């Protein structure tokens, strides 16, 4: 592995915070961005020809697996391009034992970030991450597992962690301590549509972000509670059916809507308390050194320009 280091901007998600929308926007404009000095590497390549090795463990094969990505990153850096990587699975996945443990969100994220930066030779990396009310986040992550065919009940999903105790600030402290991480740029998922132009200016640089055509803000629609109930009943009646296919068919019958809302695992009182905890956690994030918090109409912190390679 070469010893010269790379400055990289890494959008790490989190899951269920409009990451797919941002990635599709960047992919649609990849050629235009490249012409303006910005090289984008997203899931369309990082899960295929430039695939990442498992970042949960150190193993000799990791360097061989990641070598094509490292080569492309170095070639882009040699051309003077700003390096932008977007892949929320660098943090982990929505699987129950990976997304949270005890009172920690993404308990292995700091190790995964450290391994990724070591493998690619990253230095002074800027991490970009959206946060979301933790209870809403966990509820959405659970539904994502359902959509993937894992129809476990909610109590089983959260058995290994305490949703009301989860704090983004605890995760951010660990990420800032990773060797090679310079700072974090953070925004609320709830503000995504409003702060998207700011996200792009920080992530891409002002010149590359200028003039990008922003589409509406779609989101991946989750499953309705009625669809989940229907899918479980069908699988109980015939376990040989493909769970993902059954869920898809159930969503078509009972699409998430006012008539068929999504599952509400926590209830109004718990959600209200969770919102208060989330508000306090946001205050802690805003006060952290080496964190730039993007908010609608907010003034930028001094020195908050995009990290350019």
Given this model, what pLDDT does residue 153 score? Answer: 93
- For the segment 255-279, the average pLDDT, to the nearest whole number, is 94
Whether residue 15 lies inside any domain: the answer is: yes
Report the SS3 class of residue 210.
Answer: coil
Torsion-angle region of 299 (φ positive above 0: left; ψ -120 to 50: alpha; else: beta): beta
Average pLDDT over residues 204-231: 85
* More confident: 137 or 307: 137
Summarize pLDDT for 26-48 with one digit per residue, the tens.
Answer: 999 999 999 999 999 999 999 99
Q: What is d(CA 233, CA 212) in angstroms, rounded to the nearest whole number?
A: 46
In a domain, 231, yes or no: no
Mean pLDDT taken over the chain: 92
**Cα–Cα distance list, 13 to 42, 106, 131, 170, 302 (Å):** 12, 11, 8, 16, 24
pLDDT at position 309 is: 30
Q: Given pLDDT bands bounded at 50, 70 and 90, which one contains residue 216?
A: low
**pLDDT the model gives residue 217:** 59
β-strand pairing of 6-13 with 122-131:
parallel
pLDDT value at 72 more than 70: yes
The residue with greater pLDDT, 221 or 275, is 275
d(CA 118, CA 252): 44
Q: How confident is the model at residue 218 (pLDDT cuts 50, 70, 90)?
A: low
Is the pLDDT at 95 greater than 80, yes or no?
A: yes
**Any domain includes 235:** no
Model confidence at 100: pLDDT above 70: yes
Q: Is 303 inside any structural domain?
A: no
Domain of 168, CATH number, reads 3.40.50
Residue 239 domain flag: no
Residues 6+ apart with CB under 8 A from 281: 167, 168, 169
Is 285 within the bounds of a domain?
yes
In a domain, 41, yes or no: yes
Could you give the number of structural domains in the chain? Answer: 1
Domain range for 176 is 6-134+162-218+276-294
* Residue 305, CA distances (Å) to 18, 25, 85, 262, 292 in order: 23, 21, 17, 39, 10
Which region among 15-19, 185-189, 262-266, 295-299 has the lowest average model confidence (pLDDT)?
295-299
The per-residue pLDDT for range 138-155, each reduced to its tens digit, is 999 999 999 999 999 999
- pLDDT (mean) for 190-205: 96
Q: Tell me what the mean pLDDT of segment 69-83 comes to.
A: 97
In a domain, 308, yes or no: no
Average pLDDT on 84-107 reads: 97
Question: Angle at which helices 192-204 and 19-28 pack, to 10 degrees?
Answer: 50
Q: Does residue 264 surpass a pLDDT of 90?
A: no
DSSP 161: B
pLDDT band at residue 4 using 50, 70 and 90 as cut-offs: confident
């Amino acid at each position: 592995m070469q010893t010269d280091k790379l400055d990289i901007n890494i959008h790490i998600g989190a899951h269920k915070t409009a990451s797919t929308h941002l990635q599709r926007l960047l992919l649609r404009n990849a050629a235009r961005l490249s012409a303006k000095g910005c090289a984008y590497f997203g899931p369309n390549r990082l899960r295929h020809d430039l695939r990442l090795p498992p970042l949960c463990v150190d193993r000799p094969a990791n360097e061989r697996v990641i070598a094509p990505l490292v080569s492309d990153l170095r070639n882009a850096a040699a051309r003077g391009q700003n390096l932008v990587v977007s892949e929320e699975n660098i943090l982990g996945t929505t699987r129950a034992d990976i997304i949270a443990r005890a009172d920690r969100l993404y308990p292995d994220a700091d190790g995964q970030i450290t391994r990724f930066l070591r493998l690619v030779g990253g230095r002074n990396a800027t991490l970009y991450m959206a946060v979301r009310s933790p209870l809403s986040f966990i509820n959405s992550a659970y539904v994502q597992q359902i959509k993937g065919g894992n129809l476990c009940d909610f109590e089983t999903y959260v058995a290994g962690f305490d949703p009301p105790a989860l704090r983004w600030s605890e995760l951010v402290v660990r990420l800032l301590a990773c060797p090679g991480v310079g700072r974090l740029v953070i925004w609320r998922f709830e503000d995504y549509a409003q702060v998207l132009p700011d996200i792009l200016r920080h992530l891409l640089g002002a010149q590359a972000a200028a003039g990008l055509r922003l589409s509406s803000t779609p989101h991946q629609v989750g499953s309705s509670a009625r669809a989940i109930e229907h899918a479980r009943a069908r699988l109980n009646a015939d376990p040989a059916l493909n769970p993902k296919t059954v869920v898809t068919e159930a969503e078509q019958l009972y699409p998430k809507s006012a008539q068929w809302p999504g599952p509400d695992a926590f209830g109004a009182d718990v959600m209200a308390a969770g919102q208060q905890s989330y508000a306090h956690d946001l205050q802690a994030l805003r006060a952290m050194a080496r964190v730039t918090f993007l908010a609608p109409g907010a003034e930028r912190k001094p020195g908050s320009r995009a990290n350019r390679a």
